[in-house]
Structure formats: structure tokens, C-alpha cells
Amino acid sequence: MFHGTITEELTSHEEWSHYNENIIEDQKDFVFMKFSGLHLKSMENLQSCVSLRVCIFSNNFITDIHPLQSCIKLIKLDLHGNQGITYEDEIDNIKYIISKINEILAHNSPVLIVQRWIRGFLVRKNL
């Protein structure tokens, strides 16, 4: 049973020893993480995982999800069985993360881009 952090878990396995020297640098390319039931206490280096899409950290001792704020591509988050500080704090953190994702989607949505292009075309056509 493990009682530590994500970095310690990633670098402690013998079969991954050839990855250990580059594991922190390569975190920016991670798209899936599953650390369930490892009794992790922190997500300390998760802010470098900017490409993360699926994050499963169930049944741990995580109390702070602030490192997830930089994971703007996140589409699935599973934190059941963790020890949150308070329910309201965690909901506020999740709302903040969702609002950032929605803000990015609103400005880069293919539908909006096509609508703007068509509106521009129609306005220029009428001139």
C-alpha cells in the first residue's frame, strides 16, 4: 500500500526505472491518469499535466484539487472516496474549473467560428 504523492508513485516502480529521469518533463503529455486506492495525499505536480483529459483519483486522501486548474482539457474527473476539506470548497473548485473549460470552448467552438464566417460573408455581400 502506498502513502505518498503522485511523483513518488510514478518514480518508485522498478519496471519504470528507465522513465524516471524524464517522468516530470513528460507529464505535460499525459492524457490519462488513474491512481485509485493508493492513499495519495496530494496532487502536487498535476498542474504540469496540461494535456490531461481523464483523471481518476478515487479512494485516496486528497483534500485539495487546485492543481487541476491548469488541466484545461479535462473531460472526466473521478474523485469519489476522497476526503475533501468541505463540500462547498470542492464544489467551488469544480465550478471554477468548469467555467474555465466553458470559456475556452466558447471562444474556440467550431460552430461559432463557422457562424462568424457566414455572418461576415453575408454582411460583405450586402455591401
What are the pLDDT digits (tens) for 63-93? 888 888 888 888 998 988 887 666 777 788 8
Cα(first)–Cα(last) distance of the chain, in Å? 71
Residue 1 lies in a domain: no
Residue 45's pLDDT is 76
Residues facing residue 101 across a β-bridge: none
Task: Look up cell 471562444; give the residue.
Answer: 107
Does 1 score more than 50 pLDDT?
Answer: no
Determine the 3-state secondary structure of 64 from DSSP.
Answer: coil
Domain extent for 65: 6-126
- Is residue 90 within 8 A of residue 84, CB to CB? The reply is yes
Q: Return phi, psi of residue 84, to 5°.
A: -75, 155
Domain tally, the chain: 1
Q: Which residues pair with 54 in a beta bridge?
A: 32, 76
Top pLDDT among 13 and 55 is at 55
Whether residue 70 lies inside any domain: the answer is: yes
- Is residue 59 assigned to a domain? yes
- Whether residue 66 lies inside any domain: the answer is yes
> What CATH number has the domain bearing residue 65?
3.80.10
